[in-house]
């Protein structure tokens, strides 16, 4: 009985988050928002008072064409219960989504990935890498604004022996 209540509360916390990930048709396949949500992890810690759900251990979240993986995924809610932030961390956390039926997957990697649901912005942090079709963007941090399809990349300023994470971009001409 307690496990069923925990699962029901976890679903109540995650359903709005996952629906918001696939709710904009221009950025995701139309069926993504109504697709079933699948989450696999080794452990779940749900704190209703703090408004957080923390999944740990090889976390794999999927809904339609969207996939998010990491060693730990934390979902945070506002006081009103709206999902405000989804954070994935790991050696290289990963996110992907198919923008439209005829477009290739948009793929992103970083040691930390933060999805700001209210801003519709994805932050890829530390060893950040974003692939949009044949184009790639890398740096210490890459921000991708979903609604505007804007990419902002920054370096870490290390060029004297530290790990260089300068901004690099490869743009492939259209055929």
How much is the pLDDT for 42?
A: 98
Our CA dihedral for 1, 82, 20, 55, rounded to 10 degrees, sits at: -50
Tens of pLDDT, residue by residue over 11-55, are: 454 444 444 443 333 345 666 655 666 789 999 999 999 999 999
Within 13 Å and on the Cβ side, how many CA atoms surround 98? 14
For 15-30, b where at least 16 C-beta lie within 10 A, e where not — what string?
Answer: ebbbbbbbeeeebbbe
How much is the pLDDT for 68?
A: 92
Alpha-carbon span 150 to 110, nearest angstrom: 18
In a domain, residue 155? The reply is yes
In a domain, residue 43? The reply is yes
In a domain, residue 175? The reply is no
Tens of pLDDT, residue by residue over 125-165, are: 999 999 988 899 999 999 988 777 788 999 987 554 566 78
Flag whether pLDDT at 90 surpasses 90. Answer: yes
Alpha-carbon span 59 to 123, nearest angstrom: 18
How confident is the prediction for the chain on average, in pLDDT? 79
In a domain, residue 130? The reply is yes
How much is the pLDDT for 81?
A: 80
Alpha-carbon span 94 to 77, nearest angstrom: 22
**DSSP notation for 5-16:** HHHHHHHHHHHH
In a domain, residue 26? The reply is yes
In a domain, residue 64? The reply is yes
CB atoms within 10 A of CB 174: 6
The whole domain housing 22 covers 2-170
CATH number, domain with residue 64: 2.60.450.10
Domain count, the chain: 1
The phi-psi region of residue 145 (left if phi > 0; otherwise alpha if psi is between -120 and 50; otherwise beta) is beta
166 and 157 Cβ atoms separated by less than 8 Å: no
CA distances to 97, 114, 161 from 73, in Å? 17, 10, 32
How much is the pLDDT for 120?
A: 79
């Amino acid at each position: 009985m307690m496990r069923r209540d925990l699962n029901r509360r976890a679903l109540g916390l995650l359903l709005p988050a996952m629906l918001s990930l696939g709710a904009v048709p221009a950025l995701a396949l139309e069926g993504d928002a109504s697709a079933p949500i699948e989450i696999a992890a080794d452990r779940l810690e749900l704190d209703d008072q703090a408004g957080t759900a923390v999944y740990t251990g090889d976390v794999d979240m999927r809904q339609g064409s969207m996939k998010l993986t990491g060693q730990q995924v934390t979902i945070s809610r506002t006081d009103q219960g709206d999902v405000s932030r989804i954070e994935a961390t790991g050696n290289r956390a990963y996110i992907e989504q198919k923008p439209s039926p005829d477009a290739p997957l948009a793929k992103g990697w970083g040691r930390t990935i933060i999805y700001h649901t209210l801003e519709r912005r994805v932050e890829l942090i530390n060893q950040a890498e974003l692939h949009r079709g044949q184009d790639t963007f890398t740096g210490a941090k890459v921000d991708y604004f979903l609604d505007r399809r804007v990419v902002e990349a920054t370096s870490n300023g290390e060029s004297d022996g530290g790990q260089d994470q300068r901004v690099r971009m490869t743009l492939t001409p259209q055929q």
